[in-house]
Amino acid sequence: MDDLVDELGALIADVKAALADHALRGARTEARDAALPEAVPVALDAADEAPADGAIAEDVAVEEEAPAAALWDRLADTSREAVRPLDPADGTGAEGLARIQADLGDCRRCGLCEGRTNVVFGVGDPDADLLVIGEGPGQQEDLKGEPFVGPAGQMLDRMLENVLGLRRDQVYIANVVKCRPPGNRNPAPEEAATCKPFLLRQVAAVRPRLVLVLGSVALREVLCLQGIKRSRGRETRLGGIPAIPTFHPAYLLRVPEDKRLAFDDLKLARARYDALGGRRG
Ligand code: URA
């Protein structure tokens, strides 16, 4: 019986890998063919100093392989969640978002409320075709009550404008957790789990054509996948919506060598955005 279960597991993993490769190859061809800016440094560089607020801890620590069984559990879980369509039960666009924000209120559902200044709900076009998911507010976001306004936010703005051809106000930006983790530590799984339903409701209300998932924490919490280096640039689905993971901008500020890889992911995202009918301007 155990042998059979192992064999089935291996078979399903092979099929998933083949499907992912197939999707990736198609998408990469489209990306290659798209007319895009060639110079990575011009697209993503400038103001590359490390974020003053210490930045959100990212990537490196989460790169270890998850134990196979745990990873399989998460993948199994993902496929259910990823395929299940998100239900815009709150209503769509600005109206839906307002309802979700009212429900979130002055949230005290987890311990992160103790240290926060503001709940950082989300910002941007309530009907955006691209929705960007980050990890959680840093110091400046906490003070302003808006996601991605510090150095990582400036990097994100360049990623969006210079490669995707989209201004910040043309997309919708939200985080896995709405309150700043103390010292910019990664959100704990319980904190992320408490906040995640609100994020999924936001995604359902905005109804984007494409989701851009930034960094290993969002990858793990939203797509239930481990290892941003392995998963980046590979299209997957969130509630049936195409989703592309890439490096977190704070990570790119610390490890600029990886901007070239991020640039490839963003070119892929641009090609998919266009192919999916995403609006620009
Ligand atoms: N990093 C994030 O993940 N989100 C923000 O809002 C700011 C920095």
The encoded tokens of residue 92 equal: 């769509």
136 lines ligand 1 (CB under 6 A): yes
For residue 74, pLDDT beyond 90: no
For the chain, the structural domain boundaries read: 2-275
4-18, 189-203, 205-219, 252-266: least confident range: 4-18
Q: Is 135 in the pocket of ligand 1 (CB under 6 A)?
A: yes
- 136 CA from centroid of ligand 1 (Å): 5
The beta-carbon contacts of 180-184 under 8 Å, at least 24 apart in sequence, are 180/112, 180/115, 180/116, 180/117, 180/120, 180/136, 180/137, 180/138, 180/139, 180/141, 180/142, 181/112, 181/115, 181/136, 182/112, 182/115, 183/54, 184/53, 184/54, 184/55, 184/56, 184/57, 184/138, 184/139
Q: Among 8-22, 82-96, 125-139, 209-223, which stretch is predicted with the lowest mean pLDDT? A: 8-22
226: left (phi over 0), alpha (psi -120 to 50) or beta: beta
Question: Which atom of ligand 1 approaches the CA of 249 most closely?
Answer: 1
Report whether residue 175 contacts ligand 1, using a CB cutoff of 6 Å: yes
Least confident segment among 68-72, 123-127, 243-247 = 68-72
- Whether 216 lines ligand 1, by a CB cut-off of 6 Å, is no
Give percent above pLDDT 90 in the chain.
68
Model pTM? 0.77
Cβ of 125 less than 6 Å from ligand 1:
no
Does position 6 have pLDDT exceeding 80, yes or no?
A: no
- Looking from the CA of residue 135, the nearest atom of ligand 1 is 3
> Ligand 1 within 6 A of 163 CB?
no
Ligand 1 atom nearest the C-alpha of 120 is: 6
What is the per-residue pLDDT across 138-164, written as a single tens digit (0 to 9) for each?
999 999 999 999 999 999 999 999 999
| Residue of 141, 178, 252 with the most ligand 1 atoms within 8 Å of its CB, for mutation | 141
Reported confidence tier of residue 135, pLDDT bands at 50, 70, 90: very high
Establish whether residue 173 lines the binding site of ligand 1, counting it when its CB lies within 6 angstroms of any ligand atom: no
Contacts of 177 (CB under 8 A, 6+ apart): 112, 135, 136, 137, 187, 191, 192, 195
- Per-residue CA distances from 136 to 28, 70, 169 (Å): 30, 24, 19
Instruction: For 19-38, write each residue's pLDDT tens digit.
Output: 444 444 444 434 433 444 44
Distance CA 198, CA 97 (A): 10
> Measured from the CB, is residue 249 less than 6 Å from ligand 1?
no
Q: What φ, ψ does residue 155 adopt, rounded to 5°?
A: -65, -45
Question: How would you classify residue 86: left for phi > 0, otherwise alpha for psi between -120 and 50, otherwise beta?
Answer: beta
- How much is the pLDDT for 255? 98
216-273 confidence digits (pLDDT tens) = 999 999 999 999 999 999 999 999 999 999 999 999 999 999 999 999 999 999 999 9
Top pLDDT among 81 and 260 is at: 260
The CA 235 to ligand 1 mean position distance, Å, reads 22
- How far, in Å, from the CA of 178 to the mean position of ligand 1? 10
| Ligand 1 centroid distance, CA of 141 (Å) | 7
Its CATH architecture, for the domain 2-275, is 3-Layer(aba) Sandwich (3.40)
